[in-house]
Structure 1
């Protein structure tokens, strides 16, 4: 019951911020519930399939999902995710833990810089340009997808902050559009990456079911709050979440 309630609360944060939440789940599973790092990586990444699906549906109804950009980026992300998962299976758990925590902090820094320090480009102009240049769209989608997908598979995280940065910077989406579209991108990344961990024996099905039951409900409810909050507040939460998760993961018991 405690695990379900904890995952439900995490799911609300996931849906609200558009983050895949795998990094947060990994931190909680290892620090609070004593799950091994490799198992936490595989279970958390796979759970993002259902969490992201729930969040995507909610954001789609709120018109926060750019389908074409999300689909192309997600397909290439799946390729990178599978490769990353295979490599992670041969890496020591302590190394993976610190690598994951470091990337979460780094992602928070990049988000802070992009959201608060760099002047945003015109989203309307960028979106229009993408519609006229399909080839350019595929190239950009491949660039963002493969890199973020590899990070997801290798570190077991959804790499949502990195995906959001790509959508904000490369495609010029607004913060709310980036949040919603990120949920769509994570779907194929989580599915293929989770399968990669499964064939390596690092996916606990029982734990997976418990995590999904909590996060999928929370994610759907959390996504509904996104449209009603001030965008500045949303940006702050997007930055704080990965930092808090990284700190929790670093101090997790061995």
Structure 2
């Protein structure tokens, strides 16, 4: 939205989006953890590879033309929305237990590399791609997928934001503060609603 509606430089917009996600993701993860809708074990495995490749993605995005990067971010967000409309996630927690722990750990490691690169490259879109991969590739139940993704994003967003600001300079502080405050407030409200809603509603 910073790119599309405010015309901000895509690289700086991604840095602001990532930094806004830090506290918002942390408070959301806490809410999901209280409701036992989070996979800490595999989340930690995935986080390791995600953190490394977030820095790689952040660096690569600094080399990509702004127009290309902005268009890619908008396109991936649009694609995810279409995916959930056409093919909503209806996996149950019972079905998740059918996958062996070893296979799940390996999948988490490999997917973490891909997710990390995306997080660093397209910022908020990376978090959406994480949700897409957790549900479509790893077969997570929707609430657990959301809880696990925001848990990981709290750490990857911090790493990605730090990388963006270190490479591209400090953001517009007024825009940054407004984004952080309102993202935090609405993330808390959304997390409370999501944990009480049915998977079909989500």
Q: TM-score range by the shorter chain?
A: 0.7 to 0.9
Q: CA deviation at 1:48?
A: 1.0
Q: Are the counterparts in 2 of residues 194 and 203 from structure 1 also a CA contact under 8 Å?
A: no
2:179 pairs with 187, 211, 228, which one?
211
Query: Is the Cα contact below 8 Å between 1:81 and 1:149 reproduced in 2?
Result: yes
Instruction: Give the TM-score normalised by the residue count of structure 1.
Output: 0.70
Counterparts in 2 of 1:56-95, with a 5 A limit?
Answer: 56-95=29-68
Q: Is the 8 A contact 1:75 1:188 kept in 2?
A: no
Deviation at 1:205, TM superposition (A): 6.4
Please give the alpha-carbon distance, in whole angstroms, between the structure 2 residues aligned to 1:65 and 1:129.
16
> Any idea what the Cα deviations from partners look like across 1:102-130, whole Å, max 9, x if unmatched?
222222344445526xxx66642533644
CA contact (8 A) 1:111 1:161 kept: no
> Could you report, residue by residue, the CA deviation over 1:64-84 in whole angstroms, capped at 9, with x for unpaired residues?
111112222122111111101
- 1:52 matched to 2:22? The reply is no
* C-alpha distance in structure 2 between counterparts of 1:217 and 1:121, whole Å: 29
Matched, 1:231 2:194: no
Among 123, 132, 138, the residue aligned to 1:171: 138
1:165 Cα deviation from its structure 2 partner:
2.7
CA apart distance, 1:217: 1.9
* Structure 1, 153-162 or 187-196: larger mean CA deviation: 153-162
> TM-score, normalised on structure 2?
0.87
**1:143 is aligned to 2:116:** no
Are the counterparts in 2 of residues 149 and 189 from structure 1 also a CA contact under 8 Å? yes
Task: Select the residue among 147, 163, 188 that pairs with 2:155.
Answer: 188
Could you tell me how far 1:150 is from its partner in structure 2?
0.7
Q: Which residue of 2 aligns with 1:222?
A: 190
Q: Name the count of aligned residue pairs.
A: 201
Q: Deviations over 1:139-160 (max 9, x none)?
A: 2112211111111111222423
For residues 111 and 79 of structure 1, do their structure 2 counterparts lie closer, same or farther at Cα, with a shift above 3 Å needed? farther
- The 3 A distance-change label for structure 1 pair 38 and 160 is closer
The gaps in structure 2 that reach 5 residues or longer are none
The secondary structure found in structure 2 opposite 1:35 is coil
Match of residue 15, structure 2, among 42, 48, 56: 42
Cα pair 1:42 1:202 within 8 Å, conserved: no
Question: RMSD of aligned C-alpha atoms?
Answer: 2.3
Is the CA contact (8 Å cut-off) linking 2:91 and 2:142 kept in structure 1? no
Query: CA contact under 8 A between 1:121 and 1:172: conserved in structure 2?
Result: yes
